[in-house]
Structure 1
């Protein structure tokens, strides 16, 4: 199972605020049952099958264009560990245990 994060930044919108674009990106996630996701202040973090995560991120990348952005910068980080099961909560718990 992969853990990945995406940050999508619309450019050319005429405003420094991006919350409307973030909200519109998250609307497509409301019915998405194939991946687990969590909105954070700086990104959206996903857990699930990598192919599905990338498919969902691609859909999200298009949303700012559909809402008037002239340019979109999307940054993706992927943690694809295959030697053992991993999850968002497991990663957090591993760090908390060491604190």
Structure 2
């Protein structure tokens, strides 16, 4: 089973630039071992269970909780049975139909 999750999470009480806070979350995801992709507007990761996916979200929040009074979060999930490695596969499928690699 594949739980493909796209989310963004950042404090709204820390001024214009929040990359130092977002980097805490990315460091945690990286150390978790789940496959992920950082994008300019959020992060995509893939797990095998809902529990794993929600644990990553919970751990992300815990990176900000100690010193952030207000946190904005958007979460999207695509859950598919009998599938895996969709973090790469979905893009490859589109590239095959285009006949070329998508700009990265």
With the length of structure 2 as denominator, give the TM-score of the two structures.
0.82
1:54-93 CA deviation, whole Å, 9 max, x = no partner?
A: 1011110122222x221001111000012x3141111001
Aligned residues: 95
Shift of 1:21: 0.6
Alignment root-mean-square deviation, CA: 1.4
Q: Secondary structure at the match of 1:29?
A: helix
Runs (4+) off by over 3 Å: none
Q: Secondary structure at the match of 1:30?
A: helix
CA distance, structure 2, for counterparts of residue 48 and residue 30 of structure 1: 13
Shift of 1:41: 1.1
What are structure 1's unaligned runs of at least 5 residues? Answer: none
With the length of structure 1 as denominator, give the TM-score of the two structures.
0.85
Report if the CA contact (8 A) 2:11-2:70 is conserved: yes
What does residue 19 of structure 2 align with?
19
